[in-house]
Amino acid sequence: MSKTHSNRSVLIAVSLAIGLLAAPIAEAAQQLRIGYQKSSTLISLLKSQGTLEKALADQNIAISWHEFPNGQPLLEALNVGNIDLSADVADTVPVFAQAAGADLAYFAQEAPSPSAQAIIVREDSPITSLADLKGKKVAVTKAAGVHYLLIAALNKAGLKFSDIEPAYLTPADGRAAFENRKVDAWVTWEPFLSSAQQQLPTRILADGKGLADYQRYYLTSVTFAKRHPQVLQTVFDELVKTGDWLRANPRQAAEILGPLWGNLDPAIVEKANAKRSYQVRLVQPDSLAEQQKIADAFYGASLLPTSVDAREVSIWSPQ
């Protein structure tokens, strides 16, 4: 074999080896890590139907899904970089994250759903007004949207948060305490609210109308928002379409979500979803007025370590 031919063979072999090594790198999909809760309705629908994977395929992006028990650890994971996007969380949760110095960016919100959370008592309870809550034990999930509803309701009745005995419980524990009469009232949200109304003798003492808008927010990190605007655009578009589909197909959506929500009766799921707007829209600076009310209320009740300017946040918008 000639030296020239030998050199050419070596070059070909090296080129093939480089090509084989480079191919997997070029084809490897980027991971989009999405955090969600069991009650993250629209994200749960996207996950169960594989819709978002299809929408992001052209951008060579694969999705990994990460479930969290509630909004607080979800946003903590986002803040430390363990996930890239957060599914919807109650409007109170970003306020607490902001007070803790988290560098978060809003990229979508759901229009208000004030009737999707309420303060309930047993049907035979002697409590007939918000003022009657004075001195009573009330189950509530700390830092959740219902926490703000309770503060706002007490303020309306001329009471302070210190006038009640809060029992900070998860929704499941709150339901158990309420059912077993360990608490006098329970503040909860959908679908736990409709489930309790369907299965227990209850009365609504007050819902969010006139007290708490209950807007839910989708968040990311400031860094991710700057680096991946097209990914956020795709996710936003799919959330809008899914919200539209749910409102147009409430029963079909309920049949999908029921098994995901602990085999909840689709009739209860449909009732619960009817109280949520599921209207996904962009976040506008002037829409953060409710966030400021929330921040001021928690700070005034000594439940936030520092005051918060709700406008000092990053807001993603399409290019």
Q: Are 223 and 293 within one domain?
A: yes
In-domain check, residue 11: no
Closest CA to 313 of 239, 254, 225: 225
Q: Are 281 and 304 within one domain?
A: yes
Q: Are 170 and 297 within one domain?
A: no
CA-CA distances (angstroms) from residue 180 to 142, 173, 174, 196?
A: 21, 11, 10, 13
pLDDT in tens, 119-164: 999 999 999 999 999 999 999 999 999 999 999 999 999 999 999 9
CA-CA distances (angstroms) from residue 158 to 76, 123, 143, 153?
A: 34, 24, 22, 9
The whole-angstrom separation of Cα 141 and Cα 89 is 13
Q: Are 34 and 177 within one domain?
A: no
Closest CA to 37 of 66, 76, 67: 67
pLDDT in tens, 176-219: 999 999 999 999 999 999 999 999 999 999 999 999 999 999 99
Query: To the nearest whole percent, how much of the chain has pLDDT over 70?
Result: 91
Helices (H), 111-170: 145-156
Amino acid at residue number 220: T
CA 247 to chain centre: 19
287 band by pLDDT with thresholds 50, 70 and 90: confident
Any idea what the CATH number is for the domain that residue 198 is in?
3.40.190.10
Q: Is the pTM of this model over 0.75?
A: yes
Pairing of strands 85-90, 216-221: antiparallel
177: which residues sit within 8 A by CB, 6+ positions away?
139, 167, 169, 183, 186
What pLDDT is recorded for position 312? 92
In-domain check, residue 151: yes
Strands (E), 170-311: 185-189, 202-207, 216-221, 280-281
User: In the predicted model, is pLDDT for residue 26 greater than 70?
Assistant: no
Looking at 179, 207, 235, the residue that finishes a domain is: 207
In-domain check, residue 219: yes
pLDDT in tens, 28-67: 679 999 999 988 999 999 999 999 999 999 999 999 999 9
User: In the predicted model, is pLDDT for residue 289 greater than 90?
Assistant: yes
Q: Are 307 and 223 within one domain?
A: yes
Q: Are 138 and 267 within one domain?
A: no
What pLDDT is recorded for position 25? 40
Q: Are 129 and 260 within one domain?
A: no
The answer, yes or no, to whether the previous bond of 285 is cis (omega within 30 of 0) is no
Q: Which domain holds residue 194?
A: 114-207
